[in-house]
Amino acid sequence: MTGREKGIVRHLGEDDLDRLLTQTDDEKVSKRLTFIKRLYKGATLELEDAADDVGMSQSTGSLWAKRWNEGGLGKLTPNFGDGRPPKLGEDERERLLDLLEDGEPWKKQEIQHLLNEEFDIEFHPNYLPRLLDDLGLSYAIPRTERPDRPENADKILDDDERVSDAFAEDETDEPHNNQPADDGDEEWTVDDDIRTDGGTTIGFFDVSHPQPWDNSQRLYTVSEPTITRPLVKIDTPAAGFSALNGNGESVLQFPPNQEKERICACFEEIREQNPLARILLVLDNFSSHICAHTRKRAHELGVELIFLPVGSPHLNPIEPVWKSLKWESSPLIVEGADEYRTLLDRTFTKLTDRLSFAGSWIENHLSKFIKKLR
């Protein structure tokens, strides 16, 4: 799918919406009610389509849906009652929202400057956050993005048929992990003791460096917000395999480094914990992941590798698992590295049981292959 989606609260029935539409002669109200009616047609209809149908932008549609969900008709429709008029009218708010979306992210001072330049108004610093919250803006640390990430990474993943090729039944003797540049002198064969007749398990592989002194949580304090804990440092990375479907077993390992031999050892442990299924493994383009040595060993283990587009870690659902793992483990005090690894393993197992981390990946890239997974 393209565009953002929004679940809509059914404050009114469709008959009530139709009645209100026939009674109103206000074009603004009519547009908003028509927009909500379009969202009613599906539980998660795309906002972009619904907004486009009434001649509005996607960002305006997101604002309308947010207002409707929070307060129904009373919050969605414009208020023309008595009292001092707002500094920004409805049309100006919609234009502001479009400007903010085009130039995001913003600092509060930059938004204040934008308001001065474009609308010749100024809000009190204490009120500006309320306005931005009402507009539906998020206030968070922007996620870093690599400069080599392609703008259409999702489309590349689908158009290159990386997933469909991995799911395809073997019609030739050519291994999926093989590439044209590989030497053809040595035959790639699956190990004799490997079984891949137990269905298909798809999972996501990545390496991270969680530390017990990462302070990722906000904590309540009365005085100076400091925390003292033993100086424990983990020198080795954590390598995670997050299994997607029910017959897969997630695995967390702690290899001494990320050399190709260690990555292959991680694949061997993944295979040991998932002994019967064919494994489709989604991972990034780190050098030790894409080298011929690793790809050949993966083929021997019955593991099909699906490489993400370059610079696109956001397409790997294990990334939010790492984020949540660091967040949950950061406020806990541990006595040593072994205790911390045990804590990480327990937390990783709990987090990877949640299908929500990979929900959008399933919808965007696996919808055609659900039957094969089952």
In tens, the pLDDT along 4-50 reads 445 788 888 888 888 888 888 777 788 888 888 888 876 445 777 88
**For position 43, what pLDDT does the model report?**
41
What are the tokens at 317?
């659902």
- Whether 113 and 192 share a structural domain: no
Give yes or no: residues 253 and 110 share one domain.
Answer: no
Residues 34 and 72 placed together within one structural domain of the fold: yes
The boundaries of the domain holding residue 157 are 153-373
Domain match, 97 and 176 both: no
Q: What φ, ψ does residue 325 adopt, rounded to 5°?
A: -65, -45
DSSP 356: G
End-of-domain residue from the set 79, 102, 134: 134
316 and 226, same structural domain?
yes
Tell me the one-letter amino acid at 22: T
Asked if residue 185 and residue 280 are part of one domain, the reply reads yes
Domain assignment of residue 144, yes or no: no
Pair 61, 178 in one domain: no
Residue 91 resides in a domain: yes
Model pTM above 0.75: no
Taking a C-beta distance cutoff of 8 angstroms, is the pair 162, 306 a contact? yes
Residue 148 lies in a domain: no
Q: Do 164 and 117 belong together in one domain?
A: no
369 and 253 in a common domain: yes
Q: Which two tokens stand for residue 132?
A: 């931005």
How many domains is the chain built from?
2
What pLDDT digit, counting tens, does each position of 127-169 carry?
888 888 888 887 776 666 667 677 777 777 766 566 676 666 5
User: How many whole angstroms separate alpha carbon 184 and alpha carbon 180?
Assistant: 9
pLDDT digits (tens, 9 = 90+) for 58-75: 777 888 888 888 888 888
CA–CA dist 7, 47 (Å, integer): 9
**Range from 80-89, 255-264, 345-354 carrying the lowest mean pLDDT:** 80-89
